[in-house]
Amino acid sequence: MKIVVGGASNVGKSIIGYLSLGSNDIVVVDEDATKLAEIAKEYDVQPVLGSISHPDVQESIGMKNMDMLIAVTDSDEINMVACQVAYTLFNVPKKIARVDSKYFLNPLWNTLYNEKSLPIDLVITPDIEIAKFILELLDLPGSTAVYPFINNKVNIFAFRYLDVDTPFMHFSVPHINLKLAEYEAAIVFIIRGNRRILPQGDDLHLQRNDIIYIACRPEQNMEIMRLFGVDHNPYEKAIIFGANAISYYIASQMEKDDSIVNCRIIEDDAQKARKLAEALNKTSVIIGEMLSDVILEDAGFDSADIDIAVTNRDKDNLLISLLASKNKEAQAISLVNSRDYKVLGTNIRNNVIVDRAVITISGILRYLRRARIREAYALGRNTGEIWELRLGEDSSNLGKSITELKLPKDSAIMLIWRNDTIIYDTSTYRAQADDKILIYVAPTDIRHIENIFYY
């Protein structure tokens, strides 16, 4: 696919980092030569200096031959104008714009985004998506990811398996799934180090530090976590590091949660801190050096049970998590922008890494893939994706069994949703219209799976 990314800041770089893993031709446009040079060193892209909203710049990069424009500069107006130019002058098929302003996101103006007004196929707000992902983790203490599907009727959540004394340790995964069937749940995927494991084979057993992915109805989440020895109390005292759109959204939602005793935000930039303090009602905002012993003590760092580091500096976010892991048993969540820091962060105890690239790309996957995707999530860079597909009346797969679908061996159907029922055992399955399918797609199988479920 030929893709133009407008904007080489953190959001643009995160998108490029994921897109570069596939067979995509990527052009990056930005007005900052330094940022372009940094991206060109790290990724195989074509850097172009200029404004993505200017018609002459779009013409110079051959916009008329592009499949998609992703405009994610720091300016909402530039992003929207860029999509308008790409549509009107160059007839680009797919146009995605980053829009952060609450004024443009007001539901009253939803009709603004169409071919007759502003021809934008998808509006994304990456910071809000990151904040929502973190809030899902807070709602399920001890989890490392929560992915809602089928209009929130089913979710897949992940956690690190640490308790070697759990009875499940002695049973095979198929045997465990027999027990989980009582809860309409199943282990559907496992990450072990750098290995991706589908739950197939009677000899597969869980190991300490496995990341386990379980599918179930959301109301069963906590009970199933307890079966695996993961039984965290709800978070009551939170500290957020960094004053930005992410921390504002998280804190504003926490203010509505009666179970949160207190929430404090630490920011070293006085102007940002004061602006955030004015926007929030119950949250305390502390101005000072984030890693200062005095500031941490004032914020009640030792008594907090969840630390959320969402600054723009990966090093600070990971140092905060490292400090938390050494001094107490609290959970920590670290936002990272670089693929290198994600690897380092996985070794910090009680730490959950939130990769900006993975969250941001999940919001646009259904526009990148050539299949009838209702929802999709990237599990990690080069880890694979989970797609929710709906079989329409016109699907060529109706009546086929799993064997007849001829899925690649590294990908698999996780479950089928039919008439308010979750089907995990697909041995006798035959596809019917309106079935919803959750499928794990390995990185190397994306094109193959697209061809099977091509819309």
pLDDT tens sequence across 422-432 = 999 988 999 99
Same domain, 244 and 307: yes
Q: What's the total number of domains in the chain?
A: 4
- In this predicted structure, what is the pLDDT of residue 21? 77
341 pLDDT band (50/70/90 cuts)?
A: low
Cα–Cα dist 133/148, whole Å: 10
How are strands ordered across the β-sheet holding 331-336? Answer: 284-287, 262-267, 237-241, 306-309, 331-336, 351-355
CATH of residue 8's domain is 3.40.50.720
pLDDT, residue 110, reads: 53
Domain boundary among 360, 380, 413: 360
Count Cβ atoms within 10 A of the Cβ of residue 227 and give its class: 0-12 exposed, 13-18 middle, 19 or more buried.
middle
Is residue 23 assigned to a domain?
Answer: yes
Beta-carbon count within 10 A of 447 CB: 12
Return the percentage of the chain with pLDDT > 90, whole number.
64
pTM: predicted TM-score of the whole model, two decimal places: 0.88
Question: Is the sign of the CA dihedral 252, 258, 259, 265 positive or negative?
Answer: positive
382-415 pLDDT tens trace: 899 999 999 988 889 999 999 999 999 999 999 9
State the pLDDT confidence band at 108, using cuts at 50, 70 and 90: very low
Mean per-residue pLDDT, 41-54: 95
Cα 351 from Cα 250, distance rounded (Å): 18
Residue 111 has pLDDT above 60, yes or no: no
**What residue type is 363 in one-letter code?**
G
Average pLDDT over residues 4-18: 90
Domain annotation covers residue 129? no
Give residue 250's pLDDT.
Answer: 95
Range of the domain at 286: 237-360
Residues 374 and 352 in one domain: no
11 shares its domain with 119: yes
Domain for residue 435, yes or no? yes
Residue 152, pLDDT > 60, answer: yes
Confidence at residue 164, expressed as pLDDT on a 0 to 100 scale? 62
Which residue reads 């670290």 in tokens? 334
- Across 360-389, average pLDDT: 89
Q: Is residue 368 part of a domain?
A: yes
Q: Please state the rounded mean pLDDT for residues 12-22.
A: 85
Asked which of 124, 156, 180 is the last residue of a domain, the reply is: 124
Q: Are residues 330 and 411 in the same domain?
A: no
pLDDT digits (tens, 9 = 90+) for 265-323: 999 999 999 999 998 999 999 999 988 999 999 999 999 999 999 998 999 999 988 88
Q: Is residue 136 part of a domain?
A: no
Q: What is the mean pLDDT of the chain?
A: 89
309 and 333 Cβ atoms separated by less than 8 Å: yes
